Amino acid sequence: MPIHRAVRLVALIAALSAGPGWAAALRISPIGLDMPSSERAQAITLVNSDSEPVNLQIRIFKWSQVGGEDQLVPTGEILASPPAATIPPGSSYTVRVARPAAAAVRGELAYRLFIDELPKPVDPRTVSQGVRMVLRTSMPVFVADKAAIAQLAWTVWQDDGGLHAEVINRGSRHAKIASLTLAPAGGTPIVFGEGLNGYVLAGSTKRFDLKESATTKLPTLAPGTPVTLTAKNGLLDIKEALSVAAR
């Protein structure tokens, strides 16, 4: 099976079939799993608050980052049970995410769990059915040694493509980067995003780009300009004093 690109953690809405109505009102808790390597399984609760049943397919892929890009490949290292489910209206359902073998983990293993709503059959006798929207949700699943930590090293530069902040994670645990901001000395802070910017996995590199547009004007930051980089890694604060690099 070919390698698949990972989908962002936010729900991805796609028009996949014709039919009346809207995607099932599916609530998922939690929206990601951090499983200690000493545990064999954890659970995810799915709640269908719609007035119709929803059919789901559930899959897990091994997650890595190659050249700063997310990659997914099929895996049997961790399983979702059941791999498919039908949830009646107003009902909840529990999906177990389990490791078949409780082998020791050094550092962290990263996966992505996909929950896909399957489109309902189309009745060919009906007309003007509109567009049927179905839901795909992707969430992270991590299995980690309790001693694993992230170790981040940042580089900032500017070129014709905009402003760039690259982070190398030399640690053994992922970092969840949010609210990434650069503040030039004496200048206005430059915000890459108020919410989640993205993940950088253990031993991987991730680049965050900010392009100038009609609504986003970037200052000119010459090589050597001092800047302060701030962000969140989960509940941890990141604050780094850097100089703009020459590229």
Contact 22, 133 (CB under 8 A): yes
- C-alpha 43: how far from chain center: 19
Q: What's 96's DSSP letter? A: E
Kindly report the CATH number that applies to the domain delimited by 12-144.
2.60.40.10
225 residue type, one letter: T
Residue 131, both tokens: 């567009």
Distance between CA atoms of residues 38 and 10, nearest Å: 29
- Whether 152-243 and 12-144 are alike in CATH topology: the answer is yes
Give the model's pLDDT for residue 126. 60
Please spell the DSSP secondary structure of 142-167, one letter per residue.
Answer: EEE-TT----EEEEEEEETTEEEEEE
Task: Tell me whether strands 236-243 and 226-233 are parallel, antiparallel or unpaired.
Answer: antiparallel
CA end-to-end distance (rounded Å), the chain:
38
Q: pTM (2 decimals)?
A: 0.82
What is the signed CA dihedral for 195, 44, 115, 148, rounded to 10 degrees?
60
What's the pLDDT score for residue 224?
96
Give yes or no for a contact between 35 and 142, defined as CB atoms under 8 angstroms apart.
yes
Q: Do 210 and 218 form a contact (C-beta atoms < 8 A)?
A: yes
- pLDDT higher than threshold 70 for residue 213: yes
The whole-chain average pLDDT of the chain stands at: 86
Q: Please write the tens of the pLDDT for every residue from 30-88.
A: 999 999 998 999 999 999 998 989 999 999 999 999 988 999 999 999 999 999 999 99
What pLDDT, on the 0 to 100 scale, is given for residue 185? 87
- Calculate the alpha carbon distances from 231 to 8, 87, 189, 191, 228 in Å: 19, 39, 12, 10, 10
Q: How far apart are CA 112 and CA 139, in angstroms?
A: 6
Q: Is the pLDDT reported for residue 23 higher than 60?
A: no
Half-sphere exposure of 180 (CA within 13 A, CB side): 22
Q: Where are the domains of the chain?
A: 12-144, 152-243
Q: What is the pLDDT of residues 133-184, one digit of tens each?
A: 578 899 999 999 989 999 999 999 999 999 999 999 999 999 999 999 999 9
Tell me which CATH code domain 152-243 carries.
2.60.40
Using CA atoms, how far residue 44 sits from 55, 90, 118, in Å, is 16, 17, 19
- Tell me, letter by letter, the H, E, C secondary structure of 65-93: EECCEEEEEECCCCEEECCEEEECCCCEE
pLDDT of 6: 34
Return the DSSP state at 9. S
pLDDT > 90 in the chain, percent: 71
On the CB side of 177, how many CA atoms lie within 13 Å of its CA? 28
pLDDT above 90: residue 236 = yes
